[in-house]
Structure 1
Amino acid sequence: MIKTLYQMVQRNISAACKNSGRSTEDVTLIAVSKTKPIPKLEEAYQLGIRDFGENKVQELVEKYEALPKDIRWHMIGHLQRNKVKYIIDKVSLIHSVDSIKLAREIEKEGKKHNLRMPVLIEVNVAREESKFGLYPEELDDFFDEVRQFQHIEIKGLMTIAPYVHNPEENRGVFQELRKISVDISMKNLDNTDMSILSMGMTGDYMVAIEEGASMVRVGTGLFGEREYTLHEEIEE
């Protein structure tokens, strides 16, 4: 089943890129594997998928230890400061830096491990109280401090758009994140690269790609219906 769904997602990505005059090489598919058992990830791996997204630290660490080491792990969920130390040397990219306190902790752990951690800044474009992320007007103060860090590499922005039935309803959210990234790029800040826009999930990733997404996070669209856990909070 994963093979069929993967082929469908690939076709959709190609169609969205064609609609917007982009190359499929400019879009990275993140397979959102949270709650999925290891055999399903192994099946996806055999199809050539190498980028997997998790939102729970313990689950990410367990899968990291069990699966091939050429997988690029993405931390896409809210990250508690006291758990940064468990993943700092395991993930390729942290998508969800949503506070200066978290950024400071990543900087501290990066120094301990002598590495520069690539991160995305999570922006709560839609201003949903149930979602994490900085509001757009908080970004200037955030960047003033974080751009001076030596063990963080700011690679772009991420947002989690509202859950909607019609993906067109989120087009404005994606347009706004793109605009924010362009505005930041024009400031030529130290240690700040806006090459990545992580936006769009199973229900709206085609619209996100049309509006400039360079990473899309697809879970249900690849693995089928969610295997829900108690108190699950973040959509795919």
Structure 2
Amino acid sequence: MTLKQRIAHVHQKVSEACERVGRSPEEINIVAVTKYVSTEQTARVLDEGILHIGENRWQNAKPKWEALGERGVWHFIGQLQSNKVKDVIGKFAYIHSLDRLSLARELERQAAAADLTVKAFVQVNISGEASKSGMPPEETFEFLRQTELLPHIEVVGLMTMAPLDGDAEAARPVFRGLRELRDELNARGACSRPIEHLSMGMSGDFEVAIEEGATWLRLGSILVGKEED
């Protein structure tokens, strides 16, 4: 399929998943994960009206951001080391992988110096897999209470990764767990404003993620494909 056809296919699948559970497609935001494609292909994605671009390493994102940064909204979706915060601050509007207080404090320091606010998703290891990044669910309440003290960080949601070796249905309990955690944290008043968003769902399981409450999808191959002529 061409890029245009892939995008149309994804939008159709999003609409169908929303219809199954009584949601509106307008609730769903799509991040095009471009880490495996070139600057030229990333430009084509933007040309097709996809606004949000996701990258997981600054060294790979750098040439794309330098060429196209003003055209899209950039999301850092990979694990972020504290000493790399200086590279992403002011370039990526959203960080999807806030998973420890030391990182939050460095983001705060750099954001304060730049006089900006970073929108962040707290990454939670719902599945409990040792190979997955993210904090244990039981630590999120206290973490959010601490993060509330950092005025240049705005926690907009939670993020999780589903098991990579399972089918889409195997991911359902993980996605449901993140939604239930969000609802619990909101009921307990973890943040001064309710946590709204759930960043979950990738190319192989995004329909299930929508059914379980996802508001941000991180889509790579199914959306941006491979390099086109």
Q: Which amino acid aligns with 1:19?
A: R
Where does residue 233 of structure 1 map in the other structure? Answer: none
User: Is the Cα contact below 8 Å between 1:26 and 1:214 reproduced in 2?
Assistant: yes
1:173 aligns with 2:174: yes
Give unpaired runs (5+ residues) of structure 2: none
1:105 maps to what in 2? 106
Mapped partners of 1:91, 1:129: distance in 2: 28
On the 8 A contact 1:117/1:151 being kept in 2, the answer is yes
Q: Which is worse superposed, 123-132 or 216-225?
A: 216-225
**Cα contact 2:124–2:159 (8 A) shared by 1:** yes
Q: Give the drift of 1:85.
A: 1.1
Q: Is the 8 A contact 2:35 2:56 kept in 1?
A: yes
Matched with 1:163 is 164
Deviations 1:90-131 (A, max 9, x none): 111100001111111101111111111110000000011111
Identical amino acids, percent of aligned pairs: 38
Q: Normalising by structure 1, what TM-score?
A: 0.92
How far apart, CA to CA, are the structure 2 residues paired with 1:150 and 1:166? Answer: 40
- Please give the alpha-carbon distance, in whole angstroms, between the structure 2 residues aligned to 1:2 and 1:8: 10
Structure 1 portions without partners, runs of 5+: 227-236
> Structure 1 residues 141, 198: closer, same or farther in 2, change over 3 A?
same
Question: What is the CA RMSD across the aligned residues, in angstroms?
Answer: 1.4
Q: How does 1:1-236 map to 2 (within 5 A)?
A: 1-67=2-68, 69-224=70-225
Q: Deviations over 1:148-183 (max 9, x none)?
A: 111100101000111145201111100000000001
Instruction: Find the aligned partners of 1:159 and 1:189 in 2 and give their Cα distance.
Output: 18
Aligned residues: 226
CA distance in 2, matches of 1:191, 1:114: 21
Write out the 4+ residue segments of structure 1 that deviate beyond 4 Å after TM superposition.
none
Provide the C-alpha distance between the structure 2 equivalents of 1:132 and 1:192, rounded to a whole number of angstroms: 25
Q: How much has 1:64 moved relative to structure 2?
A: 1.3
Determine the C-alpha separation between the residues in 2 that align with 1:47 and 1:205.
20
CA distance in 2, matches of 1:134, 1:165: 21
CA shift, 1:191, in A, is 4.6
Q: Is the 8 A contact 2:39 2:63 kept in 1?
A: no
TM-score (norm 2): 0.94
Distance 1:68 1:131 in 2: 29
* In structure 2, C-alpha distance between the alignment counterparts of 1:82 and 1:184, rounded to whole Å: 30
The 3 A distance-change label for structure 1 pair 223 and 190 is closer
Contact 1:147–1:190, Cα closer than 8 Å, also in 2: yes
| Structure 2 contact 168–204 (Cα < 8 Å) conserved | yes
Return the alpha-carbon distance in structure 1 between the equivalents of residues 30 and 66 of structure 2: 22
